[in-house]
Structure 1
Amino acid sequence: MSTIHIVCPHCHKVNRIPLKDHYTKANCGHCKQSLLDTHPVELTPETFPTHIQKSDIPVVVDFWAPWCGPCRMMAPAYEEAAAQFPLKAQFAKVNTEQYQQLAAPFGIRGIPTIIVFKHGQEVDRVSGALPAQQIAQLVARHIG
């Protein structure tokens, strides 16, 4: 049976789980919390590399800032889109105000900017606030 590596959204440990079309239950082997949690993960300089490089599913990162009106406006749509992809894509957020060093290498010129990473590499990017449907379409292109 094929397996995939998933980074726990709670404790940030890498888990190897069976590859399935649908999951009803999947818990972290370390912290025992659900890997099916679709709430976007807040990434830090310590957790960013693990999520980007160790995950076998696409990692969708919203680069945002608390003072950014469009970022705050898009946040509910981002969470709504995330709920559609349990264990198919991992959604994450990087606060560019707090962690400028995470955004700088990607040449982010405006926020919100969503970057899709697959196997440690950037595979897609879009800037500007998007509705949930467009975010979901962006992510769906990189699944499978």
Structure 2
Amino acid sequence: MPVADALKLTCTACGQANRVPASRLGDAPKCGVCGAVLVNGEVAELDAATHDKMTRGDSLPVLVDYWAPWCGPCRAMAPEFAKAAKVLAQEARLGKLNTDQHQEISARAGIRGIPALILYRNGREVARLAGARPAADIVAFVRQHAR
């Protein structure tokens, strides 16, 4: 497969980097190591290592929701974020990072309030959005900034 046609996707289950043909995104590609589905329209719960691998190396845009369990607006937005993940399944990957458990990443990302959404593409931050949002706003935000 030519390099131009291959997408690099980090497995959210085991952290392994995988190469997937762009034309196969709709076929539920699986991780070559653990067999987990790589593109499934679900929100992934991220740990520090997976967060860093995805945001620095994945070919598809990655939208991370920085949240905490005690945050009411974060909990209220969770179902909307999940709806957006389903809509954006083949356009972007969505993940959540608990800022209480991963304070060093929150500090490095400059998170000052939650929920905070940061969109990464090609290893860098391209846009951020503060506050709880409905699914339609999340989808529009990704589509506007992911190109």
TM beyond 0.5: yes
Residue aligned with 1:46, SS: helix
After superposition, give the CA deviation of every residue in 1:60-96 in whole Å (9 maximum; x if it has no partner).
0000011100000000000000011224211111111
- In structure 2, the residue matched to 1:109 is 112
Counterpart selection for 1:97 from 77, 83, 100: 100
1:97 Cα offset (Å): 1.1
C-alpha contact 2:62 2:92 (8 A) present in aligned 1: yes
Unaligned runs of at least 5 residues, structure 1 = none
Q: Percent identity?
A: 38
Alignment partners' CA distance in 1, 2:15 and 2:24: 23
- In structure 2, the residue matched to 1:74 is 77
Matched, 1:131 2:134: yes
Alignment partners' CA distance in 1, 2:125 and 2:144: 13
Alignment partners' CA distance in 1, 2:33 and 2:91: 21
Matched, 1:10 2:5: no
Counterpart selection for 2:51 from 48, 51, 61: 48
C-alpha contact 2:30 2:37 (8 A) present in aligned 1: yes
Higher alpha-carbon deviation: 18-27 or 106-115: 18-27
More helix by share: 2
Unaligned runs of at least 5 residues, structure 2 = none
C-alpha contact 2:31 2:38 (8 A) present in aligned 1: yes
1:9 Cα offset (Å): 2.2
- In structure 1, the residue matched to 2:42 is 39
Alignment partners' CA distance in 2, 1:46 and 1:26: 22
User: Aligned residue pairs: how many?
Assistant: 144
Q: CA RMSD in A?
A: 1.6
The TM-score normalised by the length of structure 1 is 0.92
